[in-house]
Every structure is written in C-alpha cells, then in structure tokens.
Structure 1
Amino acid sequence: MPYAQAEGARLHYQETGHGHPIVFVHEYGSDHREWEQQVRFFSREYRCITFDARGYTPSEVPSDPRLYGQDFAAADIAAVMRHLDIPKAHVVGLSMGAFATLLFGIRYPQMATALVVAGVGTGSNLAELEAFRAAQVVRADALRSDGWHDLALESGHSPTRVQLKKKDPRGWAEFVAHLREHSPEGSAMTQQYYQGARDPVYAWEAELKTMMVPTLLALGDEDWPCIEPNCFLKRTIPHCGLWMQPRTGHAINLEEPAAFNREMQSFFSTVERGRWSLDA
C-alpha cells in the first residue's frame, strides 16, 4: 500500500486518473472509500487523491493524544500533496474533512486552487460549545469500551444521517459496515482530541475575511447543526458561494452523488476559466 509520511503518522492514500489534482478529505464517520462515487466521476478528467486520516486504518493510529487535532488535520493534507509532488490542488472535504479543508485554505492558500467545504460547522454553536465538547469525551469513552458495532448503527440512525437510509438503503448499509471496521481507539482519539477540541468556525472570522481561495460551501437543508455556521461562512469568506440541496442530511456526497458531482464540476469549471470571482 502507498503511504505518505506526515508528522507522527503514515497516511494511506490512493490516486486515480490524470489532470489537475483533486484531494478528497473524508468525514469522521467515513474513510477514503466513501468518495468512490466522486472518484469514478472526476477521475475521467482529473487526478483524484483520497487518503485515510490519522487514526483510520490502514493509516497509522498514533497512541499519543498529542498527535491528534485540527493542526494535524490541515497539515496532513499538505503532507499528502508534498509526498505526491503536487504544488496546488482543488481540495474537497466533508464534515470533519471540510473543517480541515477550511483550515487548510487559511494556512496553505498557496497550495489550494479551489475549496469545496461540505457539511461543515457541527459543534460551532457557541451557546452549546461546552456541552458539545463534553459529549465528545463521553462518546470517545464509549468507543473505547464498546467498539463500533452498536454505535455504528446508532450513528446511521441519527437525525442528520437517517436520510441516506431512506434514499439509498444499500448505500446506508455499506456506510454502517465501513464504520464498523474503523479502529475504536483511533476513532476515540479523533473524537476526543480533534472533534471535541477544535475551534468553532466563528473563531476564524478574521482569517476567513482575508482568505481569497475560491470556495464552494455545500450543505443539505436537513443538516441542522451546520446551517447557521454556513450562513456565517457565506457572509465572511470573500470568494464564496453557498449551494444547499433540498431534503438532504449530512452525508451529502453519499445521499445525492449526482447533484453533488454536478455542482462541483460546474464550480471547478468556473474557477478554471477564471470566472468565479464576481470582481473579475
């Protein structure tokens, strides 16, 4: 298996196709396999790279809590790109991966030609921030003691994920099966020290106002925890568009792959023709 060396962990990656690179960054409940419908579509014209985050086998699962968190998540994208000798790429992230993608745009803007930030913002509600963080510790402890078998089923029936089951039962079953294969320890570390310790997106307001990377926010209208944060991001990021898909929850790339691919394709085309900025 191919690996890229990042700080404190080797990261498993896959690449398919040729052309301008697209790097896909997965969410907490998924791994590189959940980008399959995007890779099949975009690898006809692009060089598509997926990778597994630290804590997700076959990437390494560090035992040191200090090797998890938002700083590593953004730096790991850059590490994979440098390993593959990619100076600039479109970067696409979902949920936890979207959070990393947004931070990557702030910290490594010279390496990003475009950002797709899908389903970002869970845990950013400032009024509920301490309760959210405490809940991540509880969840991490449950993963360590019980593993993923029952918790995967519970996750799949959560209010922002059950939409996938209603639309695509086979896709939902595959999502749950993949989740049950995840490392309980790696997931617990990620839950506690990344999900439960990251900044709310509102904390980045000053940096986001100066981030000039073309950005597409993608959101399902039933992904309730993310709606207000995305409205904030739309108001704050200069070269930013917001696309909302009706009757859709959190895993927008799995629920509505054709619509998601279409919107990304249109966005990338506009960026590549130099016509995304309304100032141009």
Structure 2
Amino acid sequence: MKIFAYIPTKIHTILILFGSMVICSNLTGQIEHQKKNRKYDFSAIEKKIQAWVVNGYYSGASILITKNDAVIYQKYFGNYNKETQVFIASAGKWLAAATIAAVVEKTTLSWDDKVKKWLPEFQDAKGEATLRQLFSHTSGFPDYQPKDSVTDNYQTLEESVKHIVNLPADSQPGTAFHYGGLAMQVAGRMAELATGKDFETIFQENIAMPLGMKNTHFVPVDNGGGHSPMLGGGAKSTLYDYAHFLEMISHDGNYKGNQILKKESVAEMQADQIRNANVASHEYTEQVRAEKQNGIYGLGEWREEVDAKGNAILISSPSWAGAYPWIDKTTQTYGFFLTHVNVEKANKAGFSSFYNSPVLPIMVRDVYKNAALPKNVKTGFVNVGNAKLYYEESGTGEPLIFIHGHSFDHSEWDPQFFEFAKKYRTVRYDCRGYGHSDMPKEGVEFLHAEDLLKLMNKLKIKKAHLVGLSMGGFIATDFLALHQDRLLSATMASGDIFPVPGPSQPWTTEQFTIRKAEIEKIIKRGTMYQKWDWLNGLMSKGGTNLEKIRKPVWDMIFKWNQWQPLHAEPRLVLGNDAEAILKKQKITVPVMVLTGEVEKERPNKLLECVPSAKQVIVSNAGHVSNLENPEDFNRLVMEFLKNN
C-alpha cells in the first residue's frame, strides 16, 4: 500500500511562470429535498464526489450533511446504499475516544492516569505516559509496529499490548506529536481493566447501543481474523450510524434527550491536548487548512481550525481510506463522507483520499455562502457552445466583468464584486476548467477570450470594462487584441504577455512527449504536491498582509480540480501571438496595468505592445493584489474607470 506523505517543496520556475495564470435532531426523519429548499445547491460537491467514483478511486460513496439538526443533503454514489457497511479506518478514533471518555466518567480511570498504574509491566518512559497522551499522539509511543517485528495478529487487547510493551519509546511523554495508533491500544486495555469488560462490549454498552448504531463494531481488520480490536483504525460502520454519533457530539453529548456523554467529556475531547508538545511542520492541519497552529489535536479528533481564543471550530477524524466525519461550528453543520479507497487505482493516479476528503466542509461553506447571496444577485450558467460557464451578476450601470486567476474561481473577487456593484452592472464568472464551470477536453481547441465574448453575447453586453488578475489579465489582454471594439476599458492586474506558444504554434509530437512526462512526474509524486507547491509559489513574496490571505487562497486551490496541470491543455490564450496582434493595431481603449509593489521591477512586455497603457502600483502587495490590499486595489480601479 502506498501512502503519500505530502511535504511542500520549492516551486519550479516554470510553475511560477504558468502560475501567473492565475468555502440533527432527527436524522431518520424529514429531509429537506432540493425541490422544497432551493437555497442549498450541492451540485459542486456532487460533481466532485462523482468524479472520484468515476475515476475509480472509490467503488462507491455516500454523504450526509445536516444543518441546524435537519438533513439538508444526502446522496449515494456507485455501489453504495443506506445499508453499506465499510471499514472507516481512522474515523474510528473518534468513536474510540468517546468510549474511553464514558469509562472515565463511570469508573476510577482518569485521563491523567499513567500507563504504569494499570499496566505495571511498562517500566520505561512509556509507562510515564498518561491516558490523555495516549489518545492525543503525544505519549512517546512508536507510531506503528516496526516492519521487521513479529506479525501483529491478535484477538484481544491483552495480546496487542504484549506486542507493544518492549518496543522502544520514540520520545519522552508530552514532548512531541506523532500521529499513529499503537498507543490507543494501550488506552483501550486500561479501559478494559477499569471495567472488567472487553473493549467491544464497552463500546456497545456506552456508545453504540444508546445511539442506535446497530451496524458499527470494532471487528477483525484482516480476513484471517487478526487485528481485533484496533482502536485507531478497526471500526466498521454505516452512513446513518456514524451520523447518530455526530449528532450526539454536536449536542454536547446529548442524543434525543438522553445524555450519552457529559458535556464536560465532550469539551475535554475537543480541547487542545497537544499542550507543550512539539508539532512538526507540514502536519495534517497545516496541509489541509493552510494555517499553522500548535493545538491541532484533542482526544481522538483533529482540531482542524480554531478561533481567536483557541476554541475548536472545525473538528474531524479523517481516514487514509477516505471516510471523513466532521463538525463545522461556523455553519452549524456536520457531515459524514463514507467511502473506502481503491488503493491500486488511487496510487496509480497520485490521488490521496486522506488529503482530498477534507475539502468537503470548505465546499459546504460555499453552499451556505451562496444560499446567503442577496436576492439582487443573479446566478446561472451560459452555454458557450461545448461548455457551460457559471456566472454571478449584480448592480446596474456600465458593465464590468471580473476575470479570476489560474487555480482560483469567481470567489476571488469577493472584496470587489459587491463594492463595484454599487455603481456598475458587475459580472464575475468561472472560466472553463475552474469553479462551477465545465472542464475542457484534451485536444479540443478554444480560447478563454472567445468564451468571454460568448458570455457577453448571451448576457447582451455590447461593451464592458474588464478587470482580470494574472490569468484573468492574460485573458483581458487577448480580448483587447481580438475584440477591442467590445471594450470600454481593460485592467490587467499582475498581467502581461504570457510567454507561451499560442494557437499559431500547435503541439508537436516532441512537445506532447515532454508534456506527458511532466504529467507522469506530478502523478508519481502525488497530485496534492502540485497544489501545495503552487500555494507556496503564490505566497513566496508579498506585502505585510500576505499571510492573512493564505487560507482564502488555499481554499480556492483546494477546491480546484487540477485539470490543467494533469492534461496537455489546448492553447487557451494567445500567449506569444498576442504581441504581434497588438502591435499591428492602434489601441484606443483605456488600458491600466496594475502591479503589486513587490513586482514593480519585473519587465512588462504588455507595456511595450500598448504604449498608451498606464502602469499603476498597488502598494503593500504582491501577485494577488486584489486580496492582499483590496482597499488600494478598489480605489485605483475606481479612479481609473471614473477618469476614463
């Protein structure tokens, strides 16, 4: 089995160049169907999961999402149905932690008990670890059994502990965070000794039965009957069973009027249990949430996001197999994505189920945000021939169209869209291959600029102001070269002549061979690497606000389906062809090139091709100037439009 360990590295020069192209109280009861509740549109999530299944990463999947205690979305994919039961791997850690919490409530076992109190055979540093450290990956126990150890087959936790007791400690208890599962076996054995019962019985009596989780068990992981019970990855469950558990946790331990766990126990599970332990760079939460914070883990659950006071606001228990339960307190939603990865097909495609599933709560936030759009914002799709483009429109007056950067989508313009809609008929859209719009097809030629022209025609816009950033700036440049008569003005932020072959230079056999080799390299390394490298490249230089935009930039990149780096894409921009076209005509349309202050020394060929163009500097900003310094960006664009 291949496990991808994704650690961002320095982005390659050509990537930087290409990169400038650049959110239940009654689960078995009523469901708010789309026909009854049109404000929630889960089509983007549905397309994302369906693509994973079609690509063979999963044979099937199911998902359930609730908001304010009502199921707002439920869907089955592939060969999954309501009864499908699968191993949920590390998603079982959350269940195991709750089971231990119940034992702590009802017996003399304490989260601060040391291992040696219950298991005196642990005479080394491991015996000094506490129960809470065992369940927060800070115990100093080795993460997994060494490869050269005896086969770790067992039928009881007593047997399992015998395989662990003589293993050397990795570190002193409480000094370092190391994600793994062996320490949880010891914790489970302590619970057994405290109750006099086996772990499965403890789980059934305290969690599964009270929650009606009839199809959830800690059962043998291997066909031969080994590895039972495995607290850190050996649970098997169904969609609704696990959703019952999430309902209980989201209600501070209460399930349909019955207090399954004390409120204090749930709070303890969600509290920062890392404390003073060292957390290495590029740990899971930093990778999927683009924010570095030390309090990343509670008891059996990840604290993916925390608020200013350190309270967990997004908690989860992701698994290598793809199963992903979460609770998002920012939107009062919780959800469970049930699936089990096809390891061979996923590895062949460089797909990581562990790192891809966490995009789902971010997409749910988008659903929530879109549902809250003002009534005066029109949304829809425009057919541009062989693809549909998503757009949003608001305001009246002269038309103004925002064009996003590579790997981004229309949400890039959140700081501008509503502000400019006060004075202009403002449109923002997703280019083909991004956001909600359709994907390109390898070998099918088109130009982004021609897609834009068709969008304008369908929206009955004769002339418009264009404002594009990075890739959006290149598209604005192409439109200026091809359709100057349809423009009122053009603003290219971080824009230039994109130095790549244009339509006049079709792909050669040699170029295709090179491109295919590049794609294979991305896949072999793991496709998430490319996203992390891309983010680091965009965040490598900027003003004092750069780190504040890391997360919103990452959220867009995280949702991006990565079609472009994984295909030999058509000539979508004029590239080098634009230079000759621009120089052959007299440009009379007002043109502004907005450049972030840290990039002001970079040569700009567009300014040479359009002598009348005006370069303006956005202070305290780098490549993504509209997000880094939106106040200055908006002011400069407003002044440009007013004066022209």
2:583 to 203, 206, 209: 206
Corresponding residue of 2:592: 216
SS of equivalent residue, structure 2 residue 640: helix
Letter in 2 for 1:169: E
Q: CA deviation at 1:180?
A: 1.3
Letter in 2 for 1:215: V
Are residues 219 and 64 of structure 1, via their aligned partners in 2, closer, same or farther at CA, if it must alter by over 3 Å?
same
Give unmatched runs, 5+ long, in structure 2. 1-378, 502-510
Higher helix share: 1
2:561 to 183, 208, 213: 183
Corresponding residue of 1:157: 536
Q: CA deviation at 1:146?
A: 6.4
For the 8 Å contact 1:216–1:241, the answer to whether it is kept is yes
Corresponding residue of 1:119: 494
TM-score by length of 1: 0.79
254-263 or 195-204, larger mean C-alpha shift: 195-204
2:454 matches 1:79: yes
Corresponding residue of 1:169: 547
CA distance in 2: counterparts of 1:51 and 1:120, whole angstroms: 18
TM-score by length of 2: 0.36
Corresponding residue of 1:67: 445
CA distance in 2: counterparts of 1:162 and 1:44, whole angstroms: 34
253-262 or 236-245, larger mean C-alpha shift: 236-245
Corresponding residue of 1:48: 426
Are residues 142 and 195 of structure 1, via their aligned partners in 2, closer, same or farther at CA, if it must alter by over 3 Å?
farther
Question: What pairs up with 1:269-280 in 2 under 5 angstroms?
Answer: 269-271=642-644
CA distance in 2: counterparts of 1:253 and 1:139, whole angstroms: 31
SS of equivalent residue, structure 2 residue 589: coil
CA distance in 2: counterparts of 1:219 and 1:36, whole angstroms: 20
Q: CA deviation at 1:102?
A: 0.9
Corresponding residue of 2:125: none
1:102 to 477, 493, 517: 477
SS of equivalent residue, structure 2 residue 490: strand
CA distance in 2: counterparts of 1:17 and 1:146, whole angstroms: 46
For the 8 Å contact 1:165–1:172, the answer to whether it is kept is no
Q: CA deviation at 1:161?
A: 3.0
Question: What pairs up with 1:17-36 in 2 under 5 angstroms?
Answer: 17-36=395-414
Q: What percentage of residue pairs aligned between the two structures are identical? A: 22
State the Cα deviation string for residues 123-153 of structure 1 (Å, max 9, x = none).
5399xxxxxx999776655566667533222
CA distance in 2: counterparts of 1:138 and 1:257, whole angstroms: 40
Give unmatched runs, 5+ long, in structure 1. 127-132, 272-280
**Larger of the two Rg values belongs to structure:** 2
Instruction: Count matched residues.
Output: 256
Structure of higher RCO (CA pairs closer than 8 Å, 6+ residues apart): 1
State the Cα deviation string for residues 33-82 of structure 1 (Å, max 9, x = none).
101111021111111111111111411113233235xxx11111111111
2:613 matches 1:240: yes
Are residues 13 and 252 of structure 1, via their aligned partners in 2, closer, same or farther at CA, if it must alter by over 3 Å?
same
CA distance in 1: counterparts of 2:616 and 2:488, whole angstroms: 19
Corresponding residue of 1:90: 465
Letter in 2 for 1:156: L
For the 8 Å contact 1:61–1:186, the answer to whether it is kept is no
Corresponding residue of 2:33: none
Q: CA deviation at 1:219?
A: 0.8
Are residues 62 and 156 of structure 1, via their aligned partners in 2, closer, same or farther at CA, if it must alter by over 3 Å?
closer
235-244 or 164-173, larger mean C-alpha shift: 164-173
CA distance in 2: counterparts of 1:195 and 1:162, whole angstroms: 26
CA distance in 1: counterparts of 2:550 and 2:594, whole angstroms: 20
CA distance in 1: counterparts of 2:417 and 2:399, whole angstroms: 11
Are residues 200 and 172 of structure 1, via their aligned partners in 2, closer, same or farther at CA, if it must alter by over 3 Å?
farther
Are residues 270 and 27 of structure 1, via their aligned partners in 2, closer, same or farther at CA, if it must alter by over 3 Å?
same
For the 8 Å contact 1:222–1:248, the answer to whether it is kept is yes
CA distance in 1: counterparts of 2:628 and 2:591, whole angstroms: 21
For the 8 Å contact 1:16–1:48, the answer to whether it is kept is yes
Q: CA deviation at 1:237?
A: 1.6
